[in-house]
Amino acid sequence: MKDIIAKAVEGGYRFSNVDHVYYEEEPRFLDEIFFSHDFLKAFFGEEETCMRCGLWFMKKCTKDSSHREVGVAWQYHAQQLVLSEDRIKYLEGFLE
């Protein structure tokens, strides 16, 4: 969990005092942080991303023409996060 926050902070996310209260005392409020655009941008970045598979659009997605919708990384992952059952686990999958 700490590593998730550290990565977001590294990417430019600024935790407010309110966030700290949430994190320390009410972990369920973490969802509000996880779904904020500022947090997602800081964590996943804004690289052009294939909205079908989530790979970096220009260099990595080499799938067929059904992979045409381009978005940015954090938008793709926001969608996945909504669908995932364990959000912390999903985010942890992107830590090095």
Residue ranges that bind Zn ion, judged by CB under 5 A: 50, 52-53, 61, 63, 67
Smallest distance, Zn ion to C-beta of residue 8, A: 25
Cβ nearer to Zn ion, comparing 14 with 63: 63
What CA–CA distances, in Å, run from 40 to 37, 53, 63, 64, 65? 5, 18, 25, 28, 28
Q: How far is the CB of 10 from Zn ion (least distance, A)?
A: 26
Closer to Zn ion by CB, 7 or 77: give it: 77
Residue carrying the six token digits 């970045």: 45
Classify 85 as helix, strand or coil: coil
Q: How far is C-alpha 83 from the chain's CA centre?
A: 13
When the beta carbons of 52 and 87 are compared against Zn ion, the nearer one is: 52
